Amino acid sequence: MSSPRFEPEVVLYTDGACSGNPGPGGWGFILRHPHSGKELVRSGGDENTTNNRMEMTAVIEGLKALTRPTRVELVSDSKYVLQGLSEWMPNWKKNNWRRKENGRWKPVKNVELWQALDDLIAKHEFRFTHIRGHAGHPENERCDRLAVEASVVARRGSR
């Protein structure tokens, strides 16, 4: 995935939000080129979703914005997404997108999103960085505001 001397070409900051779980939700990302300072900022929402789905969607949408293979540092407060990408996914794939729960095989939750992420991450080189949410990290706070605003718009759409 990445070497100790990994220098990202871009940094992808992501966050998701959900009002109720499930409920109206939103996602947001900041894709930054560190050397030029250029940024691409996007957000969106869904009327009926979960927080985990919005966290994953933020990463998917950010990676879809890349036009060529790139060294990416993914910065997220979602342990679910980061552990899924860096630890769990190889076994899920080996086991036909299933996981063991109480000794029984169960389908992986959000499998269509994990499969989309699997396709997208195969194109790039990664470093995964976990940060604490709501801890004053400027880009995380900005992504959170984008996601919350998008969830409010999604909530209005569900009325």
Catalytically annotated residues: 15-16, 55, 77, 134, 144
Name which of 52, 88, 55, 79 is nearest 97 in CA terms.
88
Going by C-beta distance under 8 Å and a sequence separation of 6 or more, which residues neighbour residue 43? Answer: 26, 27, 28, 29, 146, 147, 149, 150
Dig out the tokens for 59 from the structure.
């990463």
Bridge partners of 75, per DSSP, are: 13, 129
Name which of 92, 85, 90 is nearest 117 in CA terms.
85
